[in-house]
């Protein structure tokens, strides 16, 4: 039996977790939704149809990436003391999953914005559990929305 590909995060306490993966995947979902919205309502060429197909495929792959990253951090990193201090983490994680699914099922741009907002709140809670201060920075990438990032020190 030949193994072609393996994807996993370790199930040992490596302590290497970062919500940035989910944040940038959510940002990508929002961007793909914007690009889809910019396309004409009527597709007249195979080239435009191929372009739309690629945008939809990438939107869905990035929505899955959001779900995978959040599920891993929620399931592997968050422990009882974190959950007691931040009881919203369960509902927030579930809401992220549901909104990422909405982003896959639909092309409503607001779903992408909502996804970013929820993933940002998740990141804020994550960094708080590590006693790391956060700040809001405007994304350098379209759609140039606010992102929660850790304050980096020397």
Q: Helices 109-129 and 89-105: crossing angle, nearest 10°? A: 150
**Helix axes 46-72 and 109-129, enclosed angle (nearest 10):** 30
Each residue's pLDDT expressed in tens, for the chain with a length of 154 residues = 676 765 555 555 666 899 999 999 999 999 999 999 999 999 999 999 999 999 999 999 999 999 999 999 999 999 999 999 999 999 999 999 999 999 999 999 999 999 999 999 999 999 999 999 999 999 999 999 999 999 998 7
The answer to whether the beta carbons of residues 142 and 27 sit under 8 Å apart is: no
**Cα(127)–Cα(125) distance, rounded to whole angstroms?**
6
Angstrom distance (rounded) from CA 103 to CA 114: 10
* CA 63 to mean position of chain CA atoms: 7
What residue spans of 73-88 are helical by DSSP H?
80-85
Q: Which of 29, 36, 53 is nearest to 103 (CA)?
A: 29
- Report d(CA 82, CA 86) in Å as an integer: 6
How is domain 20-150 classified at the architecture level of CATH?
Answer: Up-down Bundle (1.20)
34 vs 62: CA distance, rounded Å: 14
Backbone angles phi, psi at 147, to 5 degrees: -130, 140
Do residues 110 and 103 make contact, with C-beta atoms less than 8 angstroms apart? no
């Amino acid at each position: 039996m030949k193994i072609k590909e393996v994807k996993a995060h370790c199930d040992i306490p490596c302590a290497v977790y970062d919500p940035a993966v989910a944040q940038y995947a959510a940002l990508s979902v929002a961007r793909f939704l914007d690009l889809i919205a910019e396309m004409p309502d009527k597709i007249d060429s195979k080239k435009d149809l191929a372009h739309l197909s690629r945008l939809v495929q990438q939107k869905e792959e990035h929505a899955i990436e959001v779900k995978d990253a959040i599920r891993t951090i929620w399931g592997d990193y968050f422990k009882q003391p974190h959950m007691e201090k931040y009881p919203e983490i369960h509902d927030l994680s579930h809401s992220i999953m549901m909104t990422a699914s909405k982003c896959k099922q639909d092309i409503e741009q607001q779903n992408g914005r909502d996804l970013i907002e929820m993933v940002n709140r998740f990141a804020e809670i994550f960094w708080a559990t590590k006693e790391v201060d956060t700040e809001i920075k405007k994304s350098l990438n379209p759609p140039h929305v606010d992102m929660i990032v850790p304050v980096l020190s020397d």
